């Protein structure tokens, strides 16, 4: 495919995604300008990010530092000033790299991880790093996310929130989740919204709800998502083995 054909394809996909978001907002009685669309560009090249930026999508998500750091550098060289969101499971030894390009980290799910990210952010940045605490709604330990009332003190949601709130260089902006496999998304996002409401009573500035992907964005918007993370619908099906 030529560069121009790909840009055309991305433009058409974006138009369809925007229509979906607008329709979902209309149905939920919400204002579409409340929703931040994050293009999750994992497995896709920097040229796609540049094209999407030229089409007005300036929020970009990645889930692996190894891939994201090089891509962020390539995009910076090409010109557009995009905001990188780190949405994947994060290892403590990657924090220094991630804070060098990410504006927001959606996947803080441990007390020790919060500590490592705080330390990295304090070294490399002039201003605090925005973070979301990722919530695991079904307690499946193999997947990411802090758990409500966990007996594992590192992964307990309240402790992770307290660690972020008590840090010097991180700001708790809200919560992120991925609907558990096999769940009805409405069930997941109702639970998530209730949790977010409770968290906001203690942390009034934690108002971001990062929820909704290509398969369940309508439900997420219906239940209050402010940031939606769309990969497949915008960029196409990813190769299976990545």
Q: Does residue number 230 form part of the binding site for ligand PLP (CB under 6 A)?
A: yes
Smallest distance, Å, CB 56 to ligand PLP?
Answer: 18
Q: Does residue number 63 form part of the binding site for ligand PLP (CB under 6 A)?
A: yes
Give backbone dihedrals phi and psi of 200, rounded to 5 degrees, phi first. Answer: -70, -25
Q: Does residue number 40 form part of the binding site for ligand PLP (CB under 6 A)?
A: yes
Smallest distance, Å, CB 53 to ligand PLP?
Answer: 18
Choose the stretch contacting ligand PLP; rule: CB under 6 A; options: 69-77, 152-160, 161-169, 230-238.
230-238
Task: In whole angstroms, give the CA distance from residue 5 to residue 11.
Answer: 10
Long-range contacts, stretch 116-123, CB < 8 angstroms, 24+ apart:
116/92, 117/90, 117/170, 118/164, 118/167, 118/168, 118/169, 118/170, 119/95, 119/169, 120/95, 120/96, 121/95, 121/169, 121/170, 122/168, 122/169, 123/96
Task: In whole angstroms, give the CA distance from residue 114 to residue 162.
Answer: 10
Binding mask 80-99 for ligand PLP (x = CB under 6 A): -------xx-----------
Contact with ligand PLP (CB under 6 A): which of 213, 220, 221, 225? 213
Contact with ligand PLP (CB under 6 A): which of 14, 41, 42, 50? 42
Strand, coil or helix: what is 148?
coil
**Which residues are near ligand PLP by CB under 6 A?**
40, 42, 63, 87-88, 178, 213-215, 229-233
């Amino acid at each position: 495919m030529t560069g121009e054909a790909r840009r055309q394809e991305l433009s058409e996909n974006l138009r369809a995604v925007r229509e979906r978001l607008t329709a979902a907002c209309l149905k939920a009685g919400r204002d579409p300008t409340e929703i931040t669309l994050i293009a999750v560009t994992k497995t896709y090249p920097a040229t796609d990010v540049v094209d999407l930026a030229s089409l007005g999508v300036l929020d970009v998500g990645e889930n692996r530092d190894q891939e994201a750091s090089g891509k962020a550098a390539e995009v910076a060289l090409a010109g557009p000033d995009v905001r990188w969101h780190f949405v994947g499971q994060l290892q403590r030894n990657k924090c220094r790299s991630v804070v060098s390009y990410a504006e927001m980290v959606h996947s803080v799910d441990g007390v020790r991880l919060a500590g490592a990210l705080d330390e990295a952010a304090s070294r490399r940045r002039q201003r605090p790093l925005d973070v979301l605490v990722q919530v695991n709604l079904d307690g499946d330990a193999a997947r990411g996310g802090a758990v409500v009332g966990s007996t594992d003190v590192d992964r307990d949601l309240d402790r992770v929130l307290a660690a972020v709130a008590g840090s010097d260089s991180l700001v708790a902006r809200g919560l992120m989740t991925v609907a558990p496999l096999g769940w009805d998304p409405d069930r997941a996002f109702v639970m998530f919204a209730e949790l977010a409401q409770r968290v906001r009573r203690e942390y009034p500035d934690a108002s971001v709800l990062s929820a909704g992907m290509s398969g369940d964005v309508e439900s997420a918007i219906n239940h209050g998502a402010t940031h939606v993370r769309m990969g497949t619908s915008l960029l196409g099906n990813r190769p299976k083995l990545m």
